[in-house]
Structures are given as structure tokens and as C-alpha cells.
């Protein structure tokens, strides 16, 4: 079912004001730093928290408006959190059967539904166990089955893989992808996550939340390929330089507050004077000793100081005080004698930089068309 939500909530120094639309069967990933309001959005959608102003519809039903607040147990909403929160006194089978039983389904039929969903998440062999006998990954599979056995019209996922170890998370992610995207039963879903892999593999669209407001939204791969906010850039593992756009003939540049001019290739929606960001991959950054001549003719040259060296797959990610990163081979790091505190000169070709319009304030994002 199609979800539309407009939520306004104020608590002490925190203010939430968001508008969300998820088409029938769509999966929206909500990303953002801690304290941005992600879990509050889910709590409002679930009916666990009532916003000061809200208009929420699910299909043809109004769940919230000025006169209506449908309680959580009547919303047809399933909620899956970081912890499985299974009932310790019930078997796995009866934990999953609890959801249809709560809707009035007879016990025998509810257990049949539970067996079907346990098979769907590859957990049939766990039916007779108690929650205490399950690993973290097994418990989360059971929790997924329990959430879906209630046949919700909307599924809310609050960091469902965050509490799992590195071995269990990929398997459970695969289960979620299969039941949400590949099973032919596509279920309208809102997913809160910090992991870009969750967003890429599970969602169609993303909304980036900051300080209670959506600052960026669009198709998942587009946002993570060309982020327009610092948080989305960190998620995507790319560099982002923010400032004001200046057109330069066929190209464009971003002028930062410090006066640095960063040249790149402009997006179609960019106009002179727009708030803008320059985005480029750490692999496109060349690192030179501070006193050495820069080879070639890169248009972007920045003096920087190394702050950290981090293993990043087959390369080493060099982070700098200026907020820029470069990916180098271990041999290059050794040749340059890099360590925290080393002054360096970074060079990036303009052809490797994309320049995009960016949100002007934390309260207003630019919707991608």
C-alpha cells in the first residue's frame, strides 16, 4: 500500500518536520547521523509516538490527522528492531504464530502460517527451540518471520542488522532482500540504517535526515553515487567539498568559505551562485610531498596534513585534517613515508570531479528529479 506521511514534532531542543512518500511495494531507506530523528519517524509511523501535527495515510486508510490517531495494534504495521525481542517463554514456532493469533486467527491455522514463514526465512529447523537456544542471526530470522506473519500493510525496519556479527549480517540481509524484493510479494517498507550496503541492496529510494529535516532524497544509487551532503558522502565513501557554484566556461567550480576554488564537471541543474558540492572518489586523489612539484596539470591542488592511515581493502585510505581522503597502495604510503602529521600536497583532475547543486540549509533539501 502507498504510504504518505507528514510529521511535525517538537521535544525540548529537538524539532522534527518531515514529509515521506513510499509507493506501493517500495522500500525507502532513511539515513542520517545519530540524533537526526530516524527512530522517531518510525515510532510515529508505528503509532507508538504521537506527533503534534501529523497526517499519515496507508492506502485509503487515514492513520493520523487532526481528529484521528489509530493505535499501534490496529495499524497493520510490522516493526522489526535491532534486537529480536522474542518472547522467552514461547517456542520459535509460537513466537511467529503470535502475530496471526493477535489478529484472531485460530491456533492451528496460526501455526501453519508460522511454519510457512519460518520456511521462507530458512529457519524451519528452529521451530521447536526456545529463544535462549538461538544465535543472534537465528533470532533475527525468527523476528523477521514474526513481523511478516502478521501480514502487515507496512513494514518498519529499525537498524535490523546492526546488532549482528559480520558473519550473520550478510545472511540475514539476503533473507530480507529475498522477502522484500525478490519474492513477488513486494511490501511497502521504511528502513532505518547506517549501512550503505543495506540501502543499496534493499531500498529503491533514500531520504537523508539531519536535525529533524530531510536534506537529500532520491533513487538510492543516484544519491550514493553523487551525494550532496557530507553525511551521504561519508556513507558512500567519497570526498565532498561544499561551497558556492561558479561557472567556468564549459566547466564549473565550487568556491569554499576559505576561498579555495575546486574545479569539476557540472551537473545539468547547476546555476551560478547556487549552493554546491564537488564530489570525487578517494582513488582519484594523487598525493605528493609538500615540497615536490606536482606532476601533470591537475586543476585542483590542495595543501593538507595527514591525520590517519586506515586499511581499506587492498589500499590504504589516507585521511587529512582538511577533510579529504586519498586511496594509495601500501607501497606508495611507504615510499612517501606517510604518517599522522605529515604535510602533503593533494592533486585531483577536474575531469574526476562532479559538481552538483546542494541543499541551502539543513531545513530544506533539494529533491532530485
The confidence score (pLDDT) of residue 343 equals 96
Higher pLDDT, 362 or 56: 56
pLDDT per residue as tens digits for the range 68-104: 999 998 999 999 888 888 999 999 999 999 989 988 8
The confidence score (pLDDT) of residue 184 equals 60
Please state, in angstroms and rounded to a whole number, the distance separating the CA atoms of residues 209 and 11: 17
pTM of the model: 0.76
Which CA distances in Å does 251 have to 32, 72, 141? 31, 53, 50
Q: Residue range 222-234: average pLDDT?
A: 84
The confidence score (pLDDT) of residue 183 equals 57
Q: What are the structural domains of the chain? A: 3-225 (3.40.50.300), 237-357 (2.40.50.100)
Higher pLDDT, 163 or 135: 135
Q: Is the pLDDT of residue 360 over 70?
A: no
pLDDT per residue as tens digits for the range 243-266: 899 887 778 899 998 888 899 988
Computed over every residue of the chain, the mean pLDDT equals 88
Q: Is the pLDDT of residue 369 over 70?
A: no
Q: Residue range 280-284: average pLDDT?
A: 93
Higher pLDDT, 247 or 183: 247
111-125, 231-245, 279-293, 320-334: least confident range:
231-245
- Encode the chain in three state secondary structure: CCEEEEEEEEECCEEEEEEEEECCCCEEEEECCCCCCHHHHHHHHHCCCCCCEEEEEECCEEEECCCCECCHHHCCEEEECCCCCCCCCCCHHHHHHHHHHHCCCCHHHHHHHHHHHHHHCCCHHHCCCCHHHCCHHHHHHHHHHHHHHCCCCEEEEECCCCCCCCCHHHHHHHHHHHHHHHCCCCCCEEEECCCHHHHHHHCCEEEEEECCEEEEEEEHHHHHHCCCCHHHHHHHCCEEEEEEEEEECCEEEEECCCCCEEEEEECCCCCCCCEEEEEECHHHCEEEECCCCCCCCCCEEEEEEEEEEEEECCEEEEEECCCCEEEECHHHHHHHCCCCCCEEEEEECHHHCEEEECCCECCECEECC
* pLDDT band per the 50, 70, 90 thresholds, residue 364: very low
pLDDT per residue as tens digits for the range 284-300: 999 999 988 877 778 89
The confidence score (pLDDT) of residue 366 equals 39
The confidence score (pLDDT) of residue 75 equals 93
Amino acid at each position: 500500500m502507498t504510504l504518505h506521511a507528514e510529521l511535525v514534532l517538537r521535544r525540548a531542543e529537538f524539532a522534527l518536520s518531515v514529509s515521506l512518500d513510499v509507493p506501493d511495494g517500495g522500500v525507502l531507506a532513511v539515513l542520517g547521523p545519530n540524533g537526526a530523528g530516524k527512530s522517531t519517524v518510525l515510532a510515529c509511523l508505528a503509532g507508538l509516538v504521537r506527533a503534534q501535527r501529523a497526517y499519515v495515510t496507508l492506502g485509503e486508510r487515514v492513520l493520523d490527522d487532526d481528529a484521528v490517531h489509530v493505535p499501534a495494534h490496529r495499524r497493520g504495521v510490522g516493526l522489526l528492531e535491532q534486537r529480536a525481542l522474542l518472547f522467552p517463554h514461547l517456542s520459535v514456532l509460537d513466537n511467529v504464530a503470535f502475530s496471526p493469533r493477535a489478529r484472531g486467527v485460530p491456533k492451528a491455522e496460526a501455526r501453519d502460517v508460522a511454519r510457512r514463514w519460518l520456511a521462507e526465512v530458512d529457519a524451519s529447523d528452529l521451530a521447536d527451540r526456545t529463544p535462549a537456544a538461538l544465535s543472534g542471526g537465528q533470532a533475527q530470522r525468527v523476528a523477521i518471520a514474526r513481523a511478516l506473519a502478521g501480514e502487515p500493510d507496512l513494514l518498519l525496519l529499525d537498524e535490523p542488522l546492526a546488532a549482528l556479527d559480520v558473519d550473520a549480517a550478510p545472511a540475514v540481509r539476503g533473507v530480507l532482500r529475498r522477502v522484500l524484493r525478490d519474492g513477488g510479494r513486494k511490501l511497502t517498507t521504511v528502513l532505518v540504517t547506517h549501512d550503505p550496503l543495506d540501502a543499496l541492496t534493499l531500498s529503491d529510494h533514500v531520504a537523508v535526515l539531519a536535525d529533524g529535516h530531510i536534506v537529500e532524497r532520491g533513487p538510492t544509487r543516484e544519491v550514493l553515487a553523487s551525494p550532496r551532503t557530507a553525511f551521504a558522502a561519508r556513507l558512500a565513501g567519497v570526498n565532498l567539498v561544499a561551497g558556492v557554484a561558479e561557472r567556468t566556461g564549459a566547466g564549473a567550480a565550487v568556491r569554499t568559505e576559505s576561498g579555495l576554488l575546486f574545479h569539476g564537471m557540472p551537473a545539468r541543474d547547476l546555476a551560478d551562485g547556487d549552493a554546491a558540492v564537488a564530489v570525487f572518489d578517494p582513488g582519484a586523489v594523487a598525493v605528493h610531498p609538500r615540497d615536490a612539484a606536482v606532476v601533470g596539470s591537475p586543476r585542483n591542488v590542495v595543501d593538507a596534513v595527514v591525520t590517519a592511515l586506515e586499511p581499506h581493502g587492498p589500499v590504504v585510505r589516507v585521511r587529512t585534517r582538511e577533510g579529504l581522503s586519498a586511496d594509495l597502495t601500501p607501497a606508495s604510503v611507504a615510499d612517501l613515508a606517510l604518517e599522522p602529521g605529515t604535510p602533503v600536497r593533494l592533486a585531483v583532475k577536474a575531469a574526476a570531479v562532479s559538481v552538483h547543486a546542494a541543499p541551502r540549509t539543513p531545513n530544506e533539501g533539494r529533491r532530485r528529479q
